[in-house]
Structure 1
Amino acid sequence: MTSPALKEVPFTVYYGTLVHTPTLGELEVIVNARVGVDETGTIVYVHKHALHGSVEEESPKNAKIVRLNGFTEFFLPGFIDTHIHAPQYPNCGVFGNSTLFSWLTKYTYPVEMALVDPMKAQQVYEKVVKRTLAHGTTCCAYYATIHVEPTNILADSAYGNGQRAFIGRSCMDCGKPIYNDEDGEGSTLAVINHIREKDPEYALIKPILAPRNANKCSEGFMKWLAAKSKELGLPIETHLSETEEEVEQIMQMFPHCKTYAEIYDYHNLLTEKTILGHCVFLSEEELALINERKCGISHCPTSNSCLTSGEARLRWMLDNNTKVGLGTDVSGGFSPSMLTTARHAVLVSRHVAMKTKKDHDKLSVNEALYLATLGGANVIGMGDSLGTFAVGKKWECQQINIESLDLFDFLNPSLEGLQAQNLDDLSKFQDLIDKWVFNGDDRNVRRVYVNGRCVVDKSSLT
């Protein structure tokens, strides 16, 4: 079966408003834009202020036309979830008064073990893929379970629904006896081979090697995963410094290393293809090492709040030019929505600022949107093809309609003023974006495009 994100499509010209964040903190609004997207889903031109123009000579005469009108409907790059546990989706919102370790024992491992049943895995994975897509998440870095067949089912679900995805079989050969790899290397290779057979060019889905934690994998297995990553050019995802208790316990297991980050580096797991989840309790030395190795960090503010893990010093990371994206961390995070995660990234930064007494520590809405789009693209190593509207990148975006947010004409910008880049109109549009980030949800997402193909269309729904 061909994925809907790989099916044949005609050259398409999109007319309407584009909204993206080409740099951290900058919201660029392009009204009356005309975008040409070729049959491979690649943007071949972006022209401003061309809504009423004709299709240009560079577009075929039989090009498909898609039009949006006004500024209450616009295209925004797809969200990129850099840290999500697909098998935990049934537990969204279920964490009680737990902290990380008690939550893992009571809720997480039992539901993950239940997904050894392929029928249950199929049910859960179809729902989480469809739900994240419906929220405008075009790409996910997924963790699965230790099980081969269910992990392959997750890969098939992402492929079959047209979502770009990194599929990570959770690697644990030093976990609890009831949740432990019997053949970690063989199981990992089995998943890699399945994905390669399904999508040989990794055009849509790609394996990602996922040592769960430093204390859940043997030294030999971690070094094997690092070697396999280098051999096959595959990315790595893992957890780092999520709670103080976790850091303390793991450091006792590796007395020859000075820091948690150094443990991974000792096993060759810190590379420019590595995604490190959480990173709440990093030292200056660790951040310097992470940056030297060009790793990416997945900031998970919702999860860190739900499990009272801590408040990551996001501004400190950004000031040090660290690659940072956002992760829902379902189901430590209660929602599969990246919009919710962006909202909480702003709020958590304000809690940090209340403690440091520094307004500089506050994250703006525009910065949160950058982290959810281009920031995430950089973390997964696809910043050159995703995250903004630019020639040579993929048309991978969401069509947003904010008319349901109770807008008022006297507060709205004018289309003409936006086109003229009038500061007052731009300020009013910024207010609308802020309103959407804090009040919007999946109902505002009308269409979702992956690889230039429409894979979700809710435009006919009331």
Structure 2
Amino acid sequence: MNRFCLLGDFISAPTPELLVEHPGSCLLIEEGRQVGFFDRPPEGCPVLDYRGHLIIPSFIDLHVHAAQYPNMGLGMDLPLLPWLDAYTFPLEMRYAEAAYAKRVYPAFWQALWRSGSLRACVFSSIHEEATNLLMDQGQESGLIAYVGKVNMDRNAPEGLRESTQDSLAATERWLRKNQSLSHRIRPMITPRFVPSCTQELMQGLGALAQQYNVPVQSHINENQDEVAWVASLHPEAPDYLGVYEAFDLIRPQQTILAHAIYNTPREEEAYAAQSIFLAHCPNANLNMSSGMMKCAHLLRRGDILMGLGSDVAGGNTLFIPRVMVNAMRTSNLLHLTDPTDDPLTLSEAFYLGTRGSGRFFGDCGAFCPDFSADLLVLNDEKARGLRPMTLTERLSRFVFSGDPQEIVLRMLEGRSLPDPLAAPQS
């Protein structure tokens, strides 16, 4: 249907400060975009009737590692750098075999779909063929994503360490192959992090990002040992961010840096001035004993672009509501040590996992005129039957204790999105 109405109880966070409710409302959708809310459907307009259901924007995962999906929940008692050596790198070596990628990646896209994250920014591995498979299978899933072939030419195991020339050549071949795949699955330059990339590689990747006009994703200031390591590798740089800046890897509104826990005052100002997106990954930060991002402080500046990432497999779930919960819990703990730093509110956490992350993709992540019609319909009837609740209370219950099984409809750009691995209807 190119034009139809959706009936139900709507709630979203177009800004961090406020949850906007539309109880018992009618949302008109045309050509995959939201027209607006009306008291009743226009005459003759088809209707999807979900009265009594809670309808929210679909989630957006700003930082996730598809290649690590089989490791989800493993090694959670190790710090970051030992965890990479013990779990991540041995697993990622397996993607040299395309057959392994063919087994894992359809399950990854299905798991994202099941979790309600219909848009994502995804890390692959260093392997060109496996990354192409990841993108092809993403295209078949119907989800929207940026995908990055990971680059590493130093401080990596033999099976994951590319030569600088091979890494750049493979990345350019991959860019050429996938640049026009579709608007749904698009390439993204992905140096793993500074310690794994030489100056020559980072310079080449920065040039490719400019030449092909593609965005960039990486990590920053995740772990104190990592930050010290970067300082020892690049004493010429003012800080971690300064290394990326030196090699043209910072592109305004087109760069995502994950974690950003241990920021210098200069970095904080640069995030704002250069319109860098920060992906807050509280699950992984806690699991890896990395630290606690001052998310509320950064968000309330009002000039820093921010969203949430599951960071699987450092994170232990793809379900973004649980990331929202840990963002709030981390903020509560920081408030104990600094009472002037008020904790994140529900509206702020929900904003980060929907509209905040959505700003990277454009007009999506909230119920606003001319935004993409990306949404989830929830059946929370059992919970509502136990006590009366406002729409905000129903949202709070779903975020803190709900389950993906409550999602009865996933809609992306105004189209119902079926299970990617479901058998075709006869």
Same fold (TM over 0.5): yes
Matches within 5 A, 1:403-422: 403-405=381-383, 407-409=385-387, 411-412=388-389
Q: Does 1:119 align with 2:81?
A: no
User: 10-19 or 150-159: which moved more?
Assistant: 10-19
The counterpart of 2:219, out of the listed 223, 236, 239, is: 239
- 1:364 maps to a residue whose letter is T
Note if 1:446 corresponds to 2:426.
no
Q: Is contact 2:258–2:281 with CA below 8 Å preserved after alignment?
A: yes
Superimposed CA distance per residue, residues 403-459 of structure 1 (whole angstroms, 9 cap, x where no aligned partner): 2436424x33xxxxxxxxxxxxxxx3322221111101211211111122111379x
The 8 Å contact of residues 20 and 389 in structure 1, kept in 2 or not, is answered as yes
**What displacement does 1:167 show?**
0.5
Give % identity: 25
Name which of structure 1's ranges 231-240 and 170-179 shifts more when overlaid on structure 2.
170-179
**Could you tell me which residue of structure 2 aligns to residue 400 of structure 1?**
378
Aligned to 1:4: none
Aligned equivalent of 1:433: 395
Residue 264 of structure 1 corresponds to which residue in structure 2? Answer: 244
Q: Is 1:106 matched up with 2:70?
A: no
- Alpha-carbon deviation of 1:128? 1.2
Distance 2:152 2:112 in 1: 26
Q: By how many angstroms is 1:336 displaced?
A: 1.1
**Contact map agreement 1:405 1:439 (CA 8 A) in 2:** no
Q: Is 1:169 the equivalent of 2:169? A: no
Matched residue, 2:337:
355
**Residue equivalent to 1:6:** none
What aligned pairs does 1:117-266 form with structure 2 within 5 A after superposition?
117-176=97-156, 177-182=158-163, 183-199=166-182, 203-266=183-246
Counterparts of 1:47 and 1:398 in 2: how far apart (Å)? 17
Partner Cα distance (1:448, 1:457) in 2? 9
Given that 2:113 and 2:419 are in contact with CA atoms closer than 8 Å, whether structure 1 keeps it comes out as no
Following superposition, the deviation at residue 191 of structure 1 comes to 2.1
Aligned with 2:276 (options 273, 285, 295)? 295
Provide the secondary structure at the position in 2 that maps to 1:173: coil
Distance 2:335 2:71 in 1: 31
Q: 2:75 & 2:408 partners in 1: Cα distance?
A: 31
Aligned to 1:283: 264
Any idea what SS the aligned residue of 2:56 has?
Answer: strand
**Which 10-residue stretch deviates more, 365-374 or 189-198?**
189-198
Contact 1:405 1:436 in 2 (8 A): no
AA aligned to 1:144 is S
Deviates more, 1:244-253 or 1:180-189: 180-189
Please state how far the C-alpha of 1:25 moved relative to its aligned partner: 2.6
Deviation, structure 1 residue 68: 1.0
1:373 counterpart = 2:354: yes
Preserved contact between residue 10 and residue 25 of structure 2 (Cα < 8 Å): yes
Partner in structure 1 of residue 37 of structure 2: 47
Q: Decide whether the 8 Å contact of 2:216 with 2:256 is kept in 1.
A: yes
Encode CA deviations 1:362-406: one digit per residue, 9 max, x unaligned: 11111111000110012x2x23x2111222221111112222436
Distance change >3 Å, CA 27–CA 14, structure 1 → 2: same
Q: Deviations over 1:109-147 (max 9, x none)?
A: 111111222121122111111111111101110000000
Aligned residue identity for 2:315: G
- Confirm or deny: 8 A CA contact 1:399 1:446 kept in the other structure: yes
**RMSD between superposed Cα atoms in Å:** 1.7
**Structure 1: 4+ residue segments shifted above 4 A:** none
Alignment partner, residue 417 of structure 2: 455
Q: How many residues align?
A: 415
User: Partner of 2:72 in structure 1?
Assistant: 92
SS in 1 for 2:408: strand
Structure 1: gaps spanning 5 or more residues: 1-8, 413-427
Q: Is the 8 A contact 1:33 1:46 kept in 2?
A: no
Q: Does the 8 A contact of 1:142 with 1:167 survive in 2? A: yes
* Contact 1:405–1:440 (CA under 8 A) maintained in structure 2: no
Deviation at 1:285, TM superposition (A): 1.2
Q: Deviations over 1:185-206 (max 9, x none)?
A: 221122223323532xxx2111
Alpha carbons 1:140, 1:166 under 8 Å: kept: yes
Q: 1:242 to 1:14 in 2, by over 3 A?
A: same
**Range moving further from structure 2, 237-246 or 148-157:** 148-157
Structure 2 gap ranges (5+): 421-426
Cα 1:196–1:85 change in 2 (3 A) is same
TM-score (norm 1): 0.86
Shift of 1:231: 2.4
Q: What amino acid is the match of 2:59?
A: F
Contact 1:11 1:64 in 2 (8 A): yes
Give the secondary-structure state (helix, strand or coil) at the position aligned to 2:222: coil
Structure 2 length normalisation: TM-score?
0.93
Instruction: Give the equivalent residue in structure 2 for 1:3.
Output: none
What is aligned with 2:423?
none
Cα 1:96–1:138, aligned 2, differ >3 Å: closer, same or farther?
Answer: closer
Residues 18 and 75 of structure 1 are in contact (CA less than 8 Å); yes or no, is this contact kept in structure 2? Answer: yes
Amino acid corresponding to residue 398 of structure 1 in structure 2: L
Deviation per CA, 1:9-49, whole angstroms, max 9, x where unpaired?
4322212222110111311111232222223x122x2124x
